[in-house]
Amino acid sequence: MSKSEYVPSQSEAHSSTYSKERDLETGTLTQRDTDSASIIARDLNLVTWDGPDDPENPKNWPSNVKWHYTLAVSVFTFISPVSSAMVAPALDKLGKDLHMTSKIEIDLALSIFVLAYAIGPLVFGPASEVYGRVRLFQFSNLWYLAWNLGCGFAQTPAEFFVFRFLAGLGGSAPLALGGGAISYVWHAEHRGKAMGIYTLAPILGPVIGPIAGGFIAQYSTWRWVFWSSSASAVAIQVVGLIWLRESHPATLLKWKRNRLAKETGNDQLHTGEKVETLLQKIRGAMIRPVRMITTQPIIAITAVYMGYLFGISYLMVTTFPDVWAGWYGESEGIAGLNYISIAIGSFAGPFLNVLYIDRIYRNLKAKNGNVGCPEFRMPTMFIGSFIFTVGLFWYGWSVKGHVH
């Protein structure tokens, strides 16, 4: 039973008000769970939600609070992908100013930021289970802000690569935490729309960044690419201070337990979590995703496929300057406008997905005896994978100037 879902209080453990439906995506309590609920009811020191309508449960937040939270998480996730590709149109100028001597160094100036995406989640993911989501969002954004600002002051390739990698570590946290944070707030039947808006951030970021970066590189210096994105990170930090609040159920219940223990003097209160040291918690949290990847084929396959799509997307982003500025002879600013084509597709896909994904999920759940499954969200993915393949082939085939 998921910790983010309702666990009955003592007075409700034997009631007949449990849902007779089952949703495998959310782990909703069902009538078949009454035996375990009775066991929970006998534990007088267990701290959990105060009924299914407990306002402290993130799924019971008012709708406007949920949407503010979703938008805040989305903008935190947006700034890092923007920064990752924003420098693409300015790579040649950056390479000349920092005396980079090879094409590999110039390409590394872009890709080393994304390389940090593979490492950061291994730390931030487990840490969020110990410290909660909000602290990690705010800390990681400040970390990103500091090192991204430093990139604009770098004087040597070594300085730039170190600053860029460290900025990527901070920027990876919202990507690792955002999806889970939003799932804590929304019920499965309404989560698709929120996730659709959230996924716009990492999809649109890498294509909006170069549009701005092209004009900045043309009319100013490549250093302002980093200074301007750092200024945006400051504004996002302010948004987070206003709209972000903790949504991690285990963290919220731990805070509740500590508050009640202080008020009552009962140190025997607990949340049902295994008592572990901080090091044990971090170790367990780091092992868990590795175990899931190695023992659950569906997770491994999905992760590999998402990584492949992510890599191909960045490959296209990095080829645009060579195609439009190099092959077609466009200026940096005008060449950057070609990223609008990717932006249109990146917006249209999630927009159409948002319109239908929750409807498809509800229909398939109804046909399955009101038993919901995560796989019910996959039909639109099949369509997207086909369109992606066609578009990729079409782009590669039509790059030559005589093909339109």
| The domain defined by 61-250+276-355 carries CATH number 1.20.1250.20 | yes
Contact 186, 329 (CB under 8 A): no
More confident position, 317 or 48: 48
Q: What's the pLDDT tens digit per position in 124-134?
A: 888 888 888 99
Contact 191, 182 (CB under 8 A): yes
Q: What's the distance, CA 40 to chain centroid?
A: 34
DSSP state of 260: H
Rg from Cα positions in the chain? 24
Q: What's the distance, CA 320 to chain centroid?
A: 25
Structure tokens at 189: 């039947």
Residue closest to 176 by CA, chosen among 138, 124, 133, 127 = 124
Band of the pLDDT at 17, cuts 50, 70, 90? very low
**CA–CA distance, 84 with 78 (Å, rounded to integer):** 10
Judge whether residue 374 has pLDDT over 70.
Answer: yes
Q: What is the pLDDT of residue 19?
A: 40
**CA–CA distance, 303 with 299 (Å, rounded to integer):** 6
For the ranges 62-76, 174-188, 215-229, 370-384, the lowest mean pLDDT is seen at 370-384
* Mean pLDDT in residue range 85-106: 89
Band of the pLDDT at 3, cuts 50, 70, 90? very low
**Domain ranges (residues) in the chain:** 1-44, 61-250+276-355
Contact 347, 204 (CB under 8 A): yes
Q: Which helix (H) or strand (E) holds 6?
A: none
Count CB atoms within 10 A of the CB of residue 250.
16
Q: What's the pLDDT tens digit per position in 211-245?
A: 888 888 888 889 999 999 999 999 999 999 999 99
Judge whether residue 4 has pLDDT over 70.
Answer: no
Cα dist from 234 to 21, 124, 241, whole Å: 45, 21, 11
Query: Taking the alpha carbons of 23, 245, 149, 83 in that order, is the dihedral positive or negative?
Result: positive
The end-to-end CA distance of the chain, in Å, is 55
Contacts within 8 Å (CB) and 24+ apart, 104-109: 105/157, 107/318, 108/161, 109/157, 109/160, 109/161, 109/164
For the entire predicted model, the pTM comes to 0.76
**CA–CA distance, 167 with 153 (Å, rounded to integer):** 13
Task: Give the contacts of 310 (CB within 8 A, at least 6 positions apart).
Answer: none
**CA–CA distance, 161 with 116 (Å, rounded to integer):** 11
Scanning 98-248, the segments in alpha helix (DSSP H) are: 103-115, 120-131, 133-151, 157-183, 188-219, 223-243
Judge whether residue 31 has pLDDT over 70.
Answer: no
Band of the pLDDT at 150, cuts 50, 70, 90? very high
Judge whether residue 158 has pLDDT over 90.
Answer: yes
Band of the pLDDT at 346, cuts 50, 70, 90? confident
Query: Taking the alpha carbons of 140, 142, 147, 151 in that order, is the dihedral positive or negative?
Result: positive
Contact 69, 61 (CB under 8 A): yes
Angle at 141 between CA 138 and CA 146, to 5 degrees: 125
Q: What's the pLDDT tens digit per position in 256-281?
A: 998 998 888 888 888 887 767 767 77
Band of the pLDDT at 137, cuts 50, 70, 90? very high
**CA–CA distance, 124 with 285 (Å, rounded to integer):** 10
